């Protein structure tokens, strides 16, 4: 066989894998491991969603759907955008794909030519750079620290914009930091991008997981100019605890969506049929279960933030959304992989090293776990830090 695709060969294997397999090994050996490495809600998918998918199966809804998704789902998403985000996206401006991750991969492939640059605020969700590289683009990182609250400013965009800059990825609230931009901050970032004709890719997957009475604002909703330059990505995984269902969606200007849909027609045909019927039920009747889950996450967030902030030597930015906390552990003098490995070996606490997200000063903890685990795990985390 001749040499494989250069872009694929350049993909870095996940740096988090070593830690999670070590954690699994420990559980098998009978150790009680406090696991903060989950990237998904710990709640079951609400019954009404499961029932709708089961009904769809029984009714024989088991064949291909139109490429962009079941028309009823695209219609329901169009209504969701209007209701929740103040956005006018016609059903023909929406494509449902096999997970938000798939949506994003298609977005980059649709948008990028070889050599195009994409600005990525760091810490970042670890799939963005790899997806961009595979699509032939070049990720350009905007590094931020905990002292900056992990937020970029319009000046960063001004400084890094080149004629090759095609897009910027905004993920608010953020995985891994939990930080959310205010509407004014978002608008200022968007204005800087638009000035240089940089498209905005807005990953709004955590839009419902926001706390303290805040609401997430959609980039595309600021003005007609924003709307025309923004691609909105969202999904069902986090909002409805449907990670295994593999459903995400993209909305944007008609010509862009048409091109993305053509790409999807050749690489996926369409997303899973009966899962889409579950998603319709989620949009129509799932609001109560979101509220319940968000309330539980908020209680855990307060607790984990209070416990983490009290540990001497740890710097912790208060998370506004999602279900992650991203403490800065650099004062202990260990890189994030060594810190995470020793924390697991010595105290049986599993976290994800920040280097995976472009921030070696930090580690990521997900609070998609029970309150007992949070209390127990943070006591161990604190004991570990006190030994360093
Ligand atoms: C989880 C996640 C996604 C998408 O997840 P899917 O399960 O593929 O829908 C997208 N962006 C971020 C930042 C995420 O954390």
| Strands annotated E in the chain | 34-35, 94-97, 117-122, 138-143, 165-171, 199-203, 230-235, 248-251, 324-325, 349-350, 352-353, 363-366
Same domain, residue pair 370 and 340: yes
Parent domain of 142: 61-286
Ligand 1 centre distance from Cα of residue 34 (Å): 23
pLDDT score for 166: 98
Q: Does residue 241 line the site of ligand 1, with CB under 6 A?
A: no
Same domain, residue pair 256 and 345: no
Calpha distance 68→74 (Å, rounded): 8
Same domain, residue pair 237 and 343: no
Buried b (16+ CB within 10 A) or exposed e, 80-114: bbeebbebebebebbbbbbbbbbbbbbbbbbbbee
Domain end, chosen from 260, 286, 312, is at 286
Q: Does residue 327 line the site of ligand 1, with CB under 6 A?
A: no
Report residue 131 as tokens: 């997806």
Answer yes or no: is 165 within a domain: yes
pLDDT score for 96: 98
Q: Does residue 205 line the site of ligand 1, with CB under 6 A?
A: yes
Query: The CATH number of the domain where 348 resides is what?
Result: 3.90.1150.10
Ligand 1 centre distance from Cα of residue 250 (Å): 13
Q: Does residue 237 line the site of ligand 1, with CB under 6 A?
A: yes
Ligand 1 pocket mutation, candidates 96, 100, 201, criterion most atoms within 8 A of CB: 100
Answer yes or no: is 89 within a domain: yes
Nearest-CA neighbor of 183 among 148, 214, 149, 144? 214
Tell me the CA distances in angstroms from 379 to 109, 305, 310, 345, one per residue in order.
45, 13, 11, 15
Q: Does residue 235 line the site of ligand 1, with CB under 6 A?
A: yes
Same domain, residue pair 231 and 149: yes
| pLDDT tens digit at each of 388 positions of the chain | 999 988 888 887 766 667 778 888 898 999 999 999 988 899 999 999 999 999 999 999 999 999 999 999 999 999 999 999 999 999 999 999 999 999 999 999 999 999 999 999 999 999 999 999 999 999 999 999 999 999 999 999 999 999 999 999 999 999 999 999 999 999 999 999 999 999 999 999 999 999 999 989 999 999 999 999 999 999 999 999 999 999 999 999 999 999 999 999 999 999 999 999 999 999 999 999 999 999 999 999 999 999 999 999 999 999 999 999 999 999 999 999 999 999 999 999 999 999 999 999 999 999 999 999 999 999 999 999 999 9
Give the other-Cβ count within 10 Å of 257's Cβ.
21
Answer yes or no: is 55 within a domain: no
Which residue's CA lies nearest to atom 9 of ligand 1?
100
Nearest ligand 1 atom to alpha carbon 40 = 1
Same domain, residue pair 164 and 313: no
Q: How many CA atoms lie within 13 A of 255 on its CB side?
A: 3
% helix, strand, coil for the chain, step of 5: 50, 15, 40
Ligand 1 pocket mutation, candidates 101, 244, 358, criterion most atoms within 8 A of CB: 101
Q: Output the CA torsion 217→220→223→227 (10° steps).
A: -170
Residue whose token pair is 């580690």: 363
Same domain, residue pair 39 and 114: no
Answer yes or no: is 52 within a domain: no
Same domain, residue pair 303 and 248: no
Q: Does residue 364 line the site of ligand 1, with CB under 6 A?
A: no
Answer yes or no: is 273 within a domain: yes
Same domain, residue pair 204 and 243: yes
Query: The CATH number of the domain where 97 resides is what?
Result: 3.40.640.10
Answer yes or no: is 56 within a domain: no
pLDDT score for 130: 94
pLDDT score for 78: 98
Answer yes or no: is 1 within a domain: no
Nearest ligand 1 atom to alpha carbon 101 = 8
Domain end, chosen from 254, 269, 286, is at 286
Domain end, chosen from 225, 255, 286, is at 286
Q: Does residue 175 line the site of ligand 1, with CB under 6 A?
A: yes
Ligand 1 centre distance from Cα of residue 234 (Å): 8
Answer yes or no: is 50 within a domain: no
Same domain, residue pair 128 and 272: yes
Same domain, residue pair 264 and 294: no
Same domain, residue pair 209 and 353: no
Nearest-CA neighbor of 270 among 234, 241, 243, 246? 246
Calpha distance 359→176 (Å, rounded): 10
Calpha distance 242→45 (Å, rounded): 6
Q: How many domains does the chain have?
A: 2
* Spacing of C-alpha 60 from chain mean position: 33
Calpha distance 299→221 (Å, rounded): 30
The pair phi, psi for residue 56, each rounded to 5°, is -60, -40
Ligand 1 centre distance from Cα of residue 237 (Å): 7
Which residue's CA lies nearest to atom 5 of ligand 1?
100
Q: Does residue 271 line the site of ligand 1, with CB under 6 A?
A: no
Same domain, residue pair 282 and 319: no
């Amino acid at each position: 066989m001749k040499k494989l695709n250069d872009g694929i060969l350049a993909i870095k294997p996940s740096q988090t894998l070593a830690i999670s397999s070590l954690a699994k090994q420990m559980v098998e050996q009978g150790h009680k491991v406090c696991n903060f490495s989950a990237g998904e809600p710990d709640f079951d998918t609400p019954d009404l969603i499961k029932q709708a998918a089961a009904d769809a199966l029984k009714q024989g809804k088991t064949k291909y759907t139109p490429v962009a998704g079941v028309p009823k789902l695209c219609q329901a998403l169009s209504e969701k955008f209007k209701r929740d985000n103040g956005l006018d996206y016609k059903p023909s401006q929406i494509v449902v794909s096999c997970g938000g991750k798939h949506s994003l991969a298609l977005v980059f492939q649709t948008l990028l030519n070889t050599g195009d640059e994409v600005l990525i605020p760091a810490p970042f969700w670890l799939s963005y750079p790899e997806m961009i590289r595979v699509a032939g683009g070049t990720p350009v990182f905007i590094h931020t620290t905990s002292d900056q609250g992990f937020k970029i400013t319009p000046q960063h965009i001004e400084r890094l914009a080149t004629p090759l800059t095609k897009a910027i990825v905004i993920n608010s609230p953020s995985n891994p930091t939990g930080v959310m931009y205010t509407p004014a901050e978002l608008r200022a970032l968007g204005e800087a991008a638009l000035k240089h004709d940089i498209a905005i890719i807005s990953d709004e997957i955590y839009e419902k997981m926001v706390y303290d009475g805040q609401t997430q604002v959609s980039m595309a909703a600021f003005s007609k100019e924003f709307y025309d330059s923004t691609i909105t990505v969202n999904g069902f995984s986090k909002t409805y605890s449907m990670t295994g269902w593999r459903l995400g969606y993209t909305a944007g200007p008609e010509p862009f969506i048409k091109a993305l849909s053509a790409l999807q027609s050749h690489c996926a045909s369409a997303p899973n049929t009966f899962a889409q019927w579950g998603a319709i039920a989620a949009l129509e009747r799932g609001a109560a279960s979101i509220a319940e889950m968000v309330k539980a996450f908020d209680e855990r967030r307060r607790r984990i933030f209070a416990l983490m902030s009290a540990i001497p030597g740890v710097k912790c930015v208060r998370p506004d959304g999602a279900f992650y906390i991203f403490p800065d552990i650099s004062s202990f003098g260990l890189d994030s992989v060594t810190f995470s490995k020793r924390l697991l070996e010595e105290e049986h606490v599993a976290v994800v090293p920040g280097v995976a997200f472009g921030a070696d000063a930090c580690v990521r903890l997900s609070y998609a776990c029970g309150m007992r685990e949070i209390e127990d795990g943070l006591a161990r985390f604190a004991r570990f830090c006190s030994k360093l």
